[in-house]
Amino acid sequence: MSDAPIGIFDSGVGGLTVERAIRRRLPAESTVYLGDTARVPYGPKSPETVRRYAREAAAFLLSCDVKLIVIACNTATARAADDVAARVATPVVGVIEPGSREAVRRSRTGRIGVIGTRGTIESGCYERLIKELRPEAMVVATPCPLFVSLVEEGWLDGEVPRLTARRYLEPLLQRDIDTLVLGCTHYPLLEPMLSDVARGVELIDSAEATAAAVEGRLGELGLRSTTDAPTSRYYVTDDTERFRQVAELFLGGRVGSLERVSLSSSA
């Protein structure tokens, strides 16, 4: 079982930031990545719909005999991680708890901003967890829905991304945040531009923190891989070539084994 792959899913390509962090930190682990590209974005969808999608994604990963499921999508973690974890025997790791812990650890003043999709922000998940971990924290959260489209277009910097970032971040900066959680898989790609717009604010990318959480969980369960020939497989629910193009932007490298699959209602 310990040489079985880690299953990772996201609504699309964004979760590759998490997949890459896992592969870097745990080079002996095999991975199976599922991007539900036929149904992206999850951000504006209702909680029930996201829960259904997440259940189907988890079922697909289980059919690949994974030893652990990583929900690399913030929206799916916010809306569906508890539901998925209650239904499957395989351990489940989401991105919100590791990101929240990291924010609490790194913030000096306890004034923490959170940005994400509408679904993630409406769920109040980050605020709840951060407050649980640090009750005196001041948390200010705002959705930044246009960021996902900018990243998908490859507009990572320039006049339009900067103007958009200034409009979204102004209310948070006015509240003197010292830490900003990038609570969406796509936002780490905007990090160089965001760190300039939010100068002096510590940016938290939950990908690294999630990879550390995966390492910890596998260690606790005695499931660390011992193979010296790990594999990485990729599945999508829509066109593979579009995924390949955007994935190369995310990963900065080639995507190897890539196949299109149907989840029950994505066909």
185 binds ligand DGL (CB under 6 A): yes
Q: Which is nearer to ligand DGL, 7 or 43 (CB)?
A: 43
Instruction: Kindly tell me which residue out of 5, 41, 94, 113 binds ligand DGL, with binding defined by CB under 6 A.
Output: 41
40 binds ligand DGL (CB under 6 A): yes
Q: Which is nearer to ligand DGL, 5 or 94 (CB)?
A: 94
The active-site residue, picked from 64, 73, 125, 144, is: 73
- What's the distance, Cα to Cα, between the start and end of the chain in Å? 31
Instruction: Kindly tell me which residue out of 120, 179, 232, 237 binds ligand DGL, with binding defined by CB under 6 A.
Output: 120
71 binds ligand DGL (CB under 6 A): no
Q: Could you tell me whether strands 92-93 and 31-35 are parallel, antiparallel, or unpaired per DSSP bridges?
A: unpaired
The answer to whether the beta carbons of residues 240 and 259 sit under 8 Å apart is yes
Task: Return the bridge partners of 110, or none.
Answer: none
148 binds ligand DGL (CB under 6 A): yes
Residue 68 DSSP code: E
Would you state the structure tokens that stand for residue 242, as one six-digit string? Answer: 């579009």
Binding piece for ligand DGL, criterion CB under 6 A, among 40-48, 56-64, 126-134, 254-262 = 40-48
Residue 86 DSSP code: H
- Whether the ω angle into residue 41 lies within 30 degrees of 0, i.e. cis, is yes
Q: Work out the burial of residue 1: count CB atoms within 10 Å of its CB; fewer than 13 is exposed, 13-18 middle, 19 or more buried.
A: exposed
The answer to whether the beta carbons of residues 234 and 257 sit under 8 Å apart is yes
Q: Could you tell me whether strands 92-93 and 111-116 are parallel, antiparallel, or unpaired per DSSP bridges?
A: unpaired
75 binds ligand DGL (CB under 6 A): yes
100 binds ligand DGL (CB under 6 A): no
Residue 73 catalytic? yes
Binding piece for ligand DGL, criterion CB under 6 A, among 96-104, 112-120, 213-221, 232-240 = 112-120
Mind giving me the DSSP string for 122-163?
A: HHTHHHHHHHHH-TT-EEEEEE-THHHHHHHTT--SSHHHHH
17 binds ligand DGL (CB under 6 A): no
Total binding residues for ligand DGL by CB under 6 A? Answer: 18
The answer to whether the beta carbons of residues 29 and 6 sit under 8 Å apart is yes
Residue 64 catalytic? no
CA 155 to CA 91: how far, in whole Å? Answer: 36
188 binds ligand DGL (CB under 6 A): no
Q: Which is nearer to ligand DGL, 46 or 231 (CB)?
A: 46
Q: Which is nearer to ligand DGL, 37 or 232 (CB)?
A: 37
10 binds ligand DGL (CB under 6 A): yes
38 binds ligand DGL (CB under 6 A): no
Active site residues: 73, 184
> Which residues are at the interface with ligand DGL (CB under 6 A)?
10-12, 14, 40-43, 73-75, 116-117, 120, 148, 184-186
